[in-house]
Structure 1
Amino acid sequence: MEESPNGKPGLQAEGRCRRRVAAVSAPALSACRLTLAGVMDAEGRVDESRLRGHIFRNGGVTPSERGLAWRFLFGMYPCSSTALERSFLQEQLLVRYRVMKKKWQQFLPSTVRLQLNGTDAELFAAVRYFDEREAQTLQEAQDQSEEVKDRLAFLELQAQILFERVKFDLEELREAIRIIDKDVPRTNRDLSYYQEEGLGNLLVLRNILITYAAFHPEVGYAQGMNDLCSRFLEVLDCEVDTFWSFSCYMEKFSRDFMADGLHRKIELEAALLKELDPPLYAHLVRDNMERFTFCHRWLLLGFQREFKHSDALRLFEILSCDHLELISQKVDRARYQERLDQKHCTEDGSESPQQTFNTDFTFELFICAAVLLDNRESLLHCRDDVQLIQFTSSLQGRLDLNSTLKKAESHFYNYCKRCAWDYMNGHRRANSIKDEDFFYQLRSLFILKR
């Protein structure tokens, strides 16, 4: 089986893990029988394109489907794997995570436990609940059959060999843990997932973040990752699955937590607003507001605080399905093929039309633009960065997701239509009905069911 640099196997695992599961148990393995209606075949393989389209067109999945859908959506489960394959690989992922966590704990034993220096009673309770859960997990492991113990022991030996040569920069890791220990207690404890015994999940979140930072030193830990990882932990309700799903997500978006990546995204948002509303753009770039830093948290955390919690989860999976981005890539490839086919027509030296559609304008940027345009008048009254921050803070929890999605969809469609029209005007078309057919097909891609 092919290995990846971070020790993730070529195929990964499945299942609805319970909150206290830290070893393979009957509930985890029986979850292989769960299905996603309409996108999963009888053996458990998932049609990835249909899954992404289903999420986008239906405005997300139902809460009961979400845990399983996210395991495919974020890459923990390969869509081509069967339910049987995933049941075996669940054990492998679990053991590898255990070995990874144990390795950093052995290097920095003094950081294994959260240091409690304050008077936060909830944190003391969190540690107590976490310790009780760990003791129960240990007992469950001891109660496993000899067959399971032998199989896990073999997988553990494989994992130890895989991670044997991994070395840590202890100073960098200590600094990452220091920041994590400040951020984890700030995670939104108003969520039901962190209420009562759920307080112990704060310590689960801490372990996941430290393990990720230890084995991804090129990324490490940055502020905001706790809120992002918390979203995965709440939905997947399993420490092991959260680690692997979060790691898969970060493979694609880790750059957003670095200065250059986020700066690039803010530049794109400014460029998009300039396309959609030049006067509003001109106002916002006046008085040194050209960096659009007030959009920073929206784009970094996927509008986590601007919508009510259930809608923020739904928006996160809609943005993560990349449905429209994949469509734009297909259109771009089709246009490239068209240019190749017409190459013989440009041998006289005339230039072929240049691409006008910016495929870097992802749907999340249109969501952000929809919010800005919907509050255009208020923004025009903002005269400095302080007023902008005050205004955007006032939006927390007040935005309507369905309305925002429809407006973002409309802006996305109109932008694509204008760019496609500009592109078509650069070609000689014998039949104008083809253009109408194209726009009809384009519009059909944006129909969202509410």
Structure 2
Amino acid sequence: MEAEAEAAGEEPDRRKVAALSAPALSAARLTLPGVMDAEGRVDETRLRMHIFKNGGVSPSERGLVWRFLFGMYPCSSTALERSLLQEQLFVRYRVMKRKWQQFLPSALQIYLNGTDAKLIEAVRYFDQRERRQQAQDESEEVRDRLAFLELQAQIVFERVTFDHEELREAIRIIDKDVPRTNRDLSYYQDEGLGNLLVLRDILITYAAFHPEVSYAQGMNDLCSRFLEVLNSEVDTFWSFSCYMEKFSRDFRADGLHRKIELEAALLKELDPPLYAHLVKDNMESFTFCHRWLLLGFQREFEHSDALRLFEILSCDHLELISQQVDRARYQERLAQEYRTEEDPESELQAFNTDFTFELFICAAILLDNRESLLRCQDDVQLIQFTTSLQGTLELNSTLKKAEHHFYNYCKRCAWDYMNGRCRTSKRKHEDFLAHLLNLFVLK
């Protein structure tokens, strides 16, 4: 029924506990113009451009879009191929989950201190739901097919072993963090509170089968975002896993440290005086931006806007633009008709392709609050400043400002040779700038 509601453009009631089996979305179609062909294949470039230029997609299509955007569904797959893939992913997740539950049966239920009466009640109807799912009737054909897939999955995961102490420690932290997930969201209201227990199972399964990453604080909020949108335990696990393949480093100290360094470097490019103020008196770490960058500004914007921003950041459209700009710089360097050794100033400005759009979002927020930041004299005041912004930012204006900074940075880095240092025609410069501008929403 939920798949039918989404296909009809309606918002399904997502407060019920997410089912272990994935919703039947494999054959659903996207209505985005020119994005999906007759057999269900998706043009990935068009999809990402649509997300960026339209500021996200409608809530009714978000669940299906995210399954493509984050890699659970290959964009090149047909609807028929996805229906087979859906069964395989379902069985594999079920086998993985069962494996850690058999390894640590004491971890089947969340550890609660006895004071969280609502969550204790949610545990009861969550357990009832689990028993109902195990008793579901399936056709003989489906049972045979799933049995074969399960045998395959058991072979795949047969040699996987767990470190008892490491997994227990991960579960201990997960059991502390899951109840702290934002329970004010409608998704976790009433019976939907049982979705916290679904979230717990997903996080434990991920930690068990990705020991090199395991679990780190903040993953519960990130994974919760996937669960709310996809409303499927299986699909959330695989989409979250695909996301973490790319961004798991952000949850390690070295990855976060690098991202903060990049933010500081970008601000130095955009506003040297503000950067100079923030790096004095031990404020150079930029740790006040930590949560913004780690969780994609989850608490700084109204919830629906935060989901939309996460979608926009994940479409990577502007990162593709930066690659095009860098290629244009390289081609122009090859075409230069002067000798750089005689004119060291003619070397083109370095273009930092590590400056992703989320860094420009962060910079836009900092520049928009420049005067308040200049009044901050220590780290404590900076933390107070960032806390005061929670839930107060307006997304559309922030996006416009961030894009403006990104466009100007791209233009400056790509065309610093226009100042009389290159013999390329002015018409060629203008044509490329028009092409560059067309890739942005700015007009």
TM-score (normalised: structure 2): 0.92
Question: Which region of structure 1 is more displaced relative to structure 2, 73-82 or 420-429?
Answer: 420-429
- Contact 2:39–2:79 (CA<8 Å) still a contact in 1? yes
| Cα deviation, residue 338, structure 1 | 4.6
| Mapped pair 1:34 → 2:21 | no
| Cα deviation, residue 35, structure 1 | 2.2
Task: Give the residue type in structure 1 aligned to 2:259.
Answer: K
Q: For 2:424 and 2:260, how far apart are their aligned partners in 1?
A: 41
3-state SS of paired residue (1:29): coil
Report the equivalent of 1:6.
none
2:20 to 19, 22, 33: 22
| Structure 2: gaps of 5 or more residues | 1-5
| Mapped pair 1:65 → 2:84 | no
Report the equivalent of 2:319.
325
Task: Give the residue type in structure 1 aligned to 2:251.
Answer: F
- Judging changes above 3 Å, is the alpha-carbon distance between structure 1 residues 347 and 391 closer, same or farther for their aligned structure 2 residues? closer
| Cα deviation, residue 169, structure 1 | 1.2
1:315-363 CA-partner distances (Å, limit 9, x unpaired): 0000000001012112323433454566x97699887834521111110
Report the equivalent of 1:221.
215
- Contact 1:59–1:448 (CA<8 Å) still a contact in 2? no
Task: Give the residue type in structure 2 aligned to 1:409.
Answer: E
Task: Give the residue type in structure 2 aligned to 1:21.
Answer: A
Alignment of 1:7-406 (within 5 A): 19-23=17-21, 28-29=23-24, 32-38=27-33, 39-140=35-136, 143-340=137-334, 353-406=347-400
Q: For 2:123 and 2:442, how far apart are their aligned partners in 1?
A: 44
3-state SS of paired residue (1:33): coil
| Cα deviation, residue 132, structure 1 | 2.1
- Contact 1:20–1:133 (CA<8 Å) still a contact in 2? no
Question: Which region of structure 1 is more displaced relative to structure 2, 234-243 or 100-109?
Answer: 100-109
Report the equivalent of 1:5.
none
| Structure 1: gaps of 5 or more residues | 1-14
| Cα deviation, residue 123, structure 1 | 1.3
| Cα deviation, residue 376, structure 1 | 0.5
Report the equivalent of 2:425.
431
Q: For 2:182 and 2:215, how far apart are their aligned partners in 1?
A: 18
Q: For 2:340 and 2:292, how far apart are their aligned partners in 1?
A: 48
- Judging changes above 3 Å, is the alpha-carbon distance between structure 1 residues 254 and 99 closer, same or farther for their aligned structure 2 residues? same
Q: For 1:337 and 1:420, how far apart are their aligned partners in 2?
A: 11
Q: For 1:62 and 1:137, how far apart are their aligned partners in 2?
A: 31
| Cα deviation, residue 30, structure 1 | 6.1
- Contact 1:413–1:446 (CA<8 Å) still a contact in 2? yes
| Cα deviation, residue 85, structure 1 | 0.5
Q: For 1:238 and 1:426, how far apart are their aligned partners in 2?
A: 58
Task: Give the residue type in structure 2 aligned to 1:83.
Answer: A
1:344-399 CA-partner distances (Å, limit 9, x unpaired): 97699887834521111110000000000000011111111111101110100000
| Cα deviation, residue 412, structure 1 | 0.8
- Judging changes above 3 Å, is the alpha-carbon distance between structure 1 residues 137 and 366 closer, same or farther for their aligned structure 2 residues? same
Q: For 2:184 and 2:52, how far apart are their aligned partners in 1?
A: 29
3-state SS of paired residue (1:32): coil
Task: Give the residue type in structure 2 aligned to 1:265.
Answer: K
| Cα deviation, residue 89, structure 1 | 1.0
- Contact 2:26–2:79 (CA<8 Å) still a contact in 1? no
Q: For 2:41 and 2:217, how far apart are their aligned partners in 1?
A: 36
Task: Give the residue type in structure 1 aligned to 2:397.
Answer: S
| Cα deviation, residue 444, structure 1 | 1.9
- Judging changes above 3 Å, is the alpha-carbon distance between structure 1 residues 426 and 122 closer, same or farther for their aligned structure 2 residues? farther
- Contact 1:36–1:69 (CA<8 Å) still a contact in 2? no
- Contact 1:20–1:137 (CA<8 Å) still a contact in 2? no
Q: For 1:419 and 1:430, how far apart are their aligned partners in 2?
A: 16
RMSD between aligned alpha carbons?
2.1
Q: For 1:152 and 1:130, how far apart are their aligned partners in 2?
A: 24
Q: For 1:348 and 1:357, how far apart are their aligned partners in 2?
A: 20
Q: For 1:228 and 1:208, how far apart are their aligned partners in 2?
A: 12
- Judging changes above 3 Å, is the alpha-carbon distance between structure 1 residues 88 and 292 closer, same or farther for their aligned structure 2 residues? same
TM-score (normalised: structure 1): 0.91
Q: For 1:293 and 1:428, how far apart are their aligned partners in 2?
A: 41
- Contact 2:226–2:236 (CA<8 Å) still a contact in 1? yes
